[in-house]
Amino acid sequence: MNLIPAKSDIYLDLQQHLFQEARILSAERYDEWLSTILSDDIYYRMDMPQRRFKEDKSGQRAPAKTPIFNDDLASLKVRIGRYNTGFVWAENPMNASRHIISNVEVFETDKKDQFKVYSIVELHRSRLNADRKRFTVGREDTWVKSEQGYRLLERLMTLDDSVVLDSNMNFFL
Amino acid sequence: MENLDDLIDFKTGRQKRLIYSDADIYEQEMEKIFGRSWLFLAHECQLEKPGDFIRTFMGEDEVLVVRQKDNSLKAFLNTCTHRGNRLCKADHGNSKTFVCNYHGWSFSFNGDLTGVPLEEAAYQNKLDKSKFGMVEVAQIASYKGLIFATFDESAPSLEDYLGEMKWYLDVWLDAMPEGTELIGTAMKVELPVNWKLAVENVSGDGYHLGWAHAGAMTVTAESDVAGLSVGNSEVDNASAVSVAGLNGHTVLAALDGKSGYAFYNEHQMAWDYLDKNRATAVERLGEFRGEKMWGSQLNFTVFPNLQFLPGLNWFRIYHPKGPGKFEMWTWAMVDKEMSDELKQVILNNVSRTFGPAGMFDNDDGDNLQAATEQSQGWRTRQMDIYTNMAIGGEHSREEMPGVVSDGLVCEQNQRYVYRRWLEMMKADSWEDIPFYNSLKEAQATEGK
């Protein structure tokens, strides 16, 4: 695919959206995430990597990846509904989170109102007594410009760790 | 080492907390339990063709499970016999040779050492390669698709090790003519938790469900599981059973034939599958297992570290990494007969409920981590804790093997897991480890 970088005003606009989204997610304002960031047609997916030999040709017989997240709007609402019950004891007291966004690239697509956005997010979580956990993922987003402004239509992520190193993933990236 | 009998009291359901933190006890577990038990390696479906391999663990030892040319299975320690480097770094795949990255020794997938660089110039052809093949486990065997191995030549056969537990395992493994498979890749999570706390939780702790998982239950429960309710306000213990006395293996079972799919937002497709195949299951398993167990919420524990839940359909092994750490690997489990569409529904639901970001699993980690940490203090490790719920409720039932207590909210199973733990920790050889599969036998071994 021949990627054409988006014009700088679009780039700045979308980068601003990524930063705004990061602040919303760090603050666990998930209802706001649903209502101001996500498209109703959102597809949200995260995979885990597999360690495989480069020369191994048996990949086509390998099992399909089990996704960590494989969500649409309805299932994201179920996940967020769980937090909203107030019964998720692991999140009370609130854990400190910082979503750090970098390496943002914005490209045009075949569709006039859609943009491909690459970024890296690094999540720092400070939890419990002295637990500091760090997650990094590469993200490949599709953002769509609608009457309400830019909305996230699709987010495809792969976690960098082949073993998750925290006792929960009570967050979104 | 502490006096082992002081650590566990079966009759009162007592455990001394240092069993969750003490390094010496952990070392003894590696020898007496993980060094001698049959440990789950892989499902046959994951090793289809010659050269297919999976890298996994037996205790803390890394092993490669490899499908052979004659279709048999071998498992080797994943270590070079020259200077001890890890041989294979891939999680799974297909390979006819395993070549060490350190000096280039290469091993055939049957374990033979076939290539040694500079064999003539440096070793003067004096190296007896037949003595330096990959090191195999002592025994490897399968039960209806599940591959196990043990490091102990004197261990009883896998069939005997599983004993009457096979009668329960068959509810999943043998209900359908085409059998079962694990789908998707392993979801791997490392937890700062003693491995026994995770095993006891799934083996018998229906008590935590309505409280620890109240948030997840609120948003996912579409139907009833043995009357369990959010906030632990109600339960119907007459409708379900805890089963133990099976040589350390345990079962939790609702007996309604459909509650396995209660925590699915899309359960109708699964219920249709159960309706369509119920007659087959009854024919193969008989009335009781086919009607009452197949499709129900079931928790199976194969001692010491394999657990799977037909219905919720997650399948999990725990690899210990020290007294305060383990890695758990989770797959989705299905019947081969299921449609691709239903398999996808199940895969998604396993990920959403018990994956690394699973709504239920994410409730357990902090509780188990804290229980581990609260067994590490100078004072707390001397303290006792109890699984003393429903002591005295054990009975036998004609329709099923083992020791039975009413309900999913009952701590009978944990007591029997810890009893097996103690029996194995104390025993010098397999001959000293009692075998029993019923209330009568379990009582007959009292005081042994």
Query: Scanning the structure block, which residue is given the tokens 């047609």?
Result: A41
Instruction: Give the 3-state secondary structure of residue B152.
Output: coil
Count how many pairs of residues, chain A against chain B, have C-beta atoms within 8 Å.
146
pLDDT score of B78 more than 80: yes
* HSE of B182, CA atoms in CB hemisphere, 13 A: 27
DSSP H or E segment with residue B29? helix B23-29
Interface test with B, best of A47, A82, A170 (most B CBs within 10 A): A82
Which residues in chain A have Cβ-Cβ distances shorter than 8 Å to B361? Answer: 168
**Residue among B119, B130, B55, B48 nearest B87 (CA):** B55
pLDDT for B173-202, tens place per residue? Answer: 999 999 999 999 999 999 999 999 999 999
Looking at residue B230, its pLDDT comes to 84
Q: How far is CA B151 from the centre of its chain?
A: 17
Identify the CATH class of B4-24+164-444: alpha beta
Classify the C-alpha dihedral A93-A133-B369-B408 as positive or negative.
positive
**Residue among B388, B389, B403, B99 nearest B243 (CA):** B403
Query: Scanning the structure block, which residue is given the tokens 């030892």?
Result: B61
- Do B362 and A168 lie within an 8 Å CB cutoff? yes
Nearest CB partner across the interface for B190, out of A48, A53, A163: A163
Instruction: Give the 3-state secondary structure of residue B400.
Output: strand
The question of whether B267 is a catalytic residue gets the answer: no
Which residues in chain B have Cβ-Cβ distances shorter than 8 Å to A125? Answer: none
> What is the dotted CATH code of the domain comprising A8-48+66-159?
3.10.450.50
Confidence of residue B340 (pLDDT cuts 50, 70, 90): very high
Instruction: Give the 3-state secondary structure of residue A10.
Output: helix
pLDDT for A94-133, tens place per residue? Answer: 999 999 999 999 999 999 999 999 999 999 999 878 889 9
Domain boundaries, chain A: 8-48+66-159
Query: Scanning the structure block, which residue is given the tokens 């309805």?
Result: A74
Nearest CB partner across the interface for A52, out of B52, B91, B230: B91
- Fold equal for B4-24+164-444 and B39-142: no
- Do B191 and A88 lie within an 8 Å CB cutoff? no
**Residue among B26, B24, B23, B18 nearest B380 (CA):** B18
Looking at residue B179, its pLDDT comes to 96
pLDDT for B28-37, tens place per residue? Answer: 999 999 999 9
Query: Scanning the structure block, which residue is given the tokens 């479906």?
Result: B45
A66 inside 8 A of chain B by CB? yes
Instruction: Give the 3-state secondary structure of residue B198.
Output: helix
Query: Domain B39-142 falls in which CATH fold?
Result: Rieske Iron-sulfur Protein (2.102.10)
- Do A58 and B46 lie within an 8 Å CB cutoff? no
- Do B212 and A83 lie within an 8 Å CB cutoff? no
DSSP H helices, A4-117, are 8-26, 30-36, 73-84
**Residue among B414, B364, B435, B409 nearest B19 (CA):** B414
Domain boundaries, chain B: 4-24+164-444, 39-142
- Do A51 and B89 lie within an 8 Å CB cutoff? yes
How many other CB atoms are there within 10 angstroms of residue A92's CB atom? 9
Alpha carbon separation from B145 to B120, B175, B178, B188, B299 (Å, rounded): 45, 13, 11, 22, 19
Confidence of residue B238 (pLDDT cuts 50, 70, 90): confident
- Do A78 and B220 lie within an 8 Å CB cutoff? yes
Confidence of residue A1 (pLDDT cuts 50, 70, 90): low
The question of whether B43 is a catalytic residue gets the answer: no
Average pLDDT value over all residues in chain B = 94
Classify the C-alpha dihedral B110-B115-B116-B120 as positive or negative.
positive
The question of whether B208 is a catalytic residue gets the answer: yes
